Amino acid sequence: MAPITAAAAGVTVGDIAAPQGMTVQALIAARNAGFPVYEALQVETYGYSKGEFQMVEYRRVYDINVLSSPTTKIVTVGAVAPDTFYVQPESADGRISVNKHEAHHANVSTPMTEFDRTTQRFQHSPLVRLPDGGPSVGIALVR
């Protein structure tokens, strides 16, 4: 737990350091201590009238056995994010979106994928790779 609690104790927006010494056991300890752990499920590219954008889908990990899977994991501090949410990686504000759905608009022949934006923000650290083929791991401040 030391890497997580040390990082969480001094966390401020824009100053989140990568968790040094993080292991799968530390992810398990973080989950058991009540820190939400999320995994990055997929990165999808969506088109719109002015081009395209990417969204990363994150899902909260409840199953302890999933913590060692090779997907990217994020331990969050601060507010609790929704169980499933989306973040646009190139967005500077880190706004959390939810509720992926299709919408039909006038003068557009195919439905468009839209997201409901929340007031929450997701500020994450650089990722570090766990030893022995474990997942890439970071810490995020949700506010």
Digit-coded pLDDT (tens) for 51-97: 888 999 999 999 999 998 889 999 999 999 999 999 998 787 899 99
Structure tokens, 15: 């100053």
pLDDT tens digits, one per residue of 101-141: 988 877 766 777 889 999 999 998 888 877 666 788 888 99
* CA atoms lying within 13 Å on the CB side of residue 37: 27
Q: What is the pLDDT of residue 56?
A: 95
Model pTM?
0.81
Q: What is the pLDDT of residue 73?
A: 93
Q: How far is CA 64 from CA 27, 28, 132, in A?
A: 9, 7, 18
Q: What is the pLDDT of residue 111?
A: 77
Which residue is associated with the tokens 């990217």?
72
Give CA–CA dist 8/3, Å, rounded.
Answer: 9
